[in-house]
Amino acid sequence: MKMAKRRGNLEGSIYERSNGRWLAQVRIQGKRISKNFETQKECRNWVKQMQAQIETGLSWESVKLTLGEYLNRWLKDIEGSVRPKTRFQYIGIVNNHLIPQLGKIKLGDLQPHQVQQLYNSLREQGHSQRNVQLIHSVLHRALKVASKQGLIGRNPASAVALPKISTKEMKVLDDNQARQMMIAAAGHRYEALLHLAVTTGMRMGELLGLKWTDLDWASGILTVHRQVQRLPGKGFVFPEPKTKAGRRMIELGPNTIRLLGEHRNQQELESKRPSWQENGLIFPSNKGTPADQRNLNRIFKELLKHAGLPEIRFHDLRHTAATLMLLNGIPLMVVSRRLGHSKPSVTLDIYGHYLPGMQKEAATLMDELVTPISAKWQQIGSSNPKVR
């Protein structure tokens, strides 16, 4: 082997081998790493890339560790810090998309263009923009931890172009349609649930996770403590709301309390069946077990069709509740708290575009508040010349 060019220790070394190929070497934490290339230029580029990563924290471990090995380790590390459903989703993304495409690449060798190629390939295969964004968020989060741990320098997932997610138009029911829906639901097993959904804006998982102990009949206050989720292979779990704001108290109106009372009476009759399993849930299945969200979605879709209403998602009842409250003058802060948003600005960002009509009301109100009495009399006089 003859030396074509030797650089300082900080810059690495490049050699020409007897077979005409080229060898590049750098030192990481006192240990030498080598790689063969076809050309001297490739050697130089690799040394340059490696040196840049070494200067930003590349470690010896990341040179030997594959991305697949690291991702599996990361999934174990986060087991106690993320919600079960979230971790299950992460596992699916890692096993179905990241490891098959990028898993054999050394963690320290992963380059932005390889990540970009993955995203482009996913789009070509028909994956939605939102799905690619979700895959990116998992990879970026995992590599961010690797960077903090000193396994890599910069995060290669930070330098890629992501597909823009087109915001779908939000579908909501107006007040007449909401009443029409409730008329169609009269006497239905889930009448009280639908009424609660459209008056409080609670999420489906929160509604199905409610227990009778969460309701204070005397004060009419319902406390959201949990939601229900179904994990494949594990059954139903009852995690707490994601945020402090999600753990909230919601005041109910007298008609809602009446419907819940009727619903409880009906449930007491159902509980006499031999197949009933008591779980204390307000809205269980007809066997007392947690209700399956897929069944509720199917029932909701059938009910809308029966009522002659446009097809919307169950989650759109949350949007319906929010817009009806805001359009009828309920203060933003109150709406935000009922929805369980972390701050009013979140509510405004989501629903602010539904409130253009309130601009005119605000303008008229402010005119009335600040216009002097004398000016108002002048306006009256000018509009009626006969007044003296």
> Whole-angstrom Cα distance, residue 11 to residue 3?
15
Q: Enter the tokens of residue 58.
A: 């590349």
* Of 166-175, 187-196, 316-325, 335-344, minimum mean pLDDT range: 166-175
% of the chain with per-residue pLDDT over 90: 52
Helix (H, G, I), strand (E, B) or coil at 177: helix
Reply yes or no on whether the pLDDT at 376 is more than 80: no
Reply yes or no on whether the pLDDT at 373 is more than 60: no
Mean pLDDT, residues 283-308: 95
- Position 327 confidence tier, pLDDT thresholds 50, 70, 90: confident
- For residue 2, the surrounding DSSP H or E stretch is strand 2-6
pLDDT of residue 321: 94
Contact yes or no for 343/336 (Cβ under 8 A): yes
> Whole-angstrom Cα distance, residue 44 to residue 24?
8
Q: Enter the tokens of residue 19.
A: 């077979």
Closest among 144, 47, 155 to 110, alpha carbons compared: 155
DSSP state of 66: B
CATH of 64-159, one of 3.40.630.30, 1.10.150.130, 1.10.10.10, 1.10.3720.10: 1.10.150.130
> Whole-angstrom Cα distance, residue 147 to residue 138?
14
b vs e for 88-122, b when ≥16 Cβ sit within 10 Å of the residue's Cβ? bebeebbeebbbebbbebebbbbeeeebbebbeeb
Contact yes or no for 107/70 (Cβ under 8 A): yes
pLDDT of residue 323: 92
Closest among 206, 189, 188 to 197, alpha carbons compared: 206
**Residue 345, CA distances (Å) to 171, 244, 333, 341 in order:** 21, 16, 9, 9
The full DSSP string for 259-323 is HHHHHHHHHHHHTTSTT-----BSSB-TTSSBPPHHHHHHHHHHHHHHHTPPP--TTHHHHHHHH
Mean pLDDT, residues 30-55: 79
**Residue 343, CA distances (Å) to 98, 333, 382 in order:** 35, 8, 47
Contact yes or no for 62/32 (Cβ under 8 A): no
Contact yes or no for 207/283 (Cβ under 8 A): yes
**Top-confidence residue, 29 or 184:** 184
Contact yes or no for 59/150 (Cβ under 8 A): yes
pLDDT of residue 355: 67
Mean pLDDT, residues 145-164: 84
Fold of 175-354: hpI Integrase; Chain A (1.10.443)
Reply yes or no on whether the pLDDT at 269 is more than 70: yes
Mean pLDDT value across the chain: 85
Is the whole model's pTM more than 0.75, yes or no?
Answer: no
Q: In 112-234, which ranges are continuous DSSP H helix?
A: 112-124, 129-148, 175-184, 191-200, 204-208
Match 């915001």 to its residue by tokens. 167
pLDDT of residue 238: 85
> Whole-angstrom Cα distance, residue 195 to residue 197?
5
Mean pLDDT, residues 148-159: 85
pLDDT of residue 9: 41
Q: Enter the tokens of residue 6.
A: 């030797």
Number of other residues whose CB lies within 10 A of the CB of residue 240: 14
Closest among 78, 179, 253 to 261, alpha carbons compared: 253
Q: What is the pLDDT of residues 63-100, one digit of tens each?
A: 678 999 999 999 999 988 888 888 889 999 999 999 99
For the chain, give every domain's residue range: 2-55, 64-159, 175-354, 356-388
**Burial classification of residue 226, based on how many CB atoms lie within 10 Å of its CB (0-12 exposed, 13-18 middle, 19 or more buried):** buried
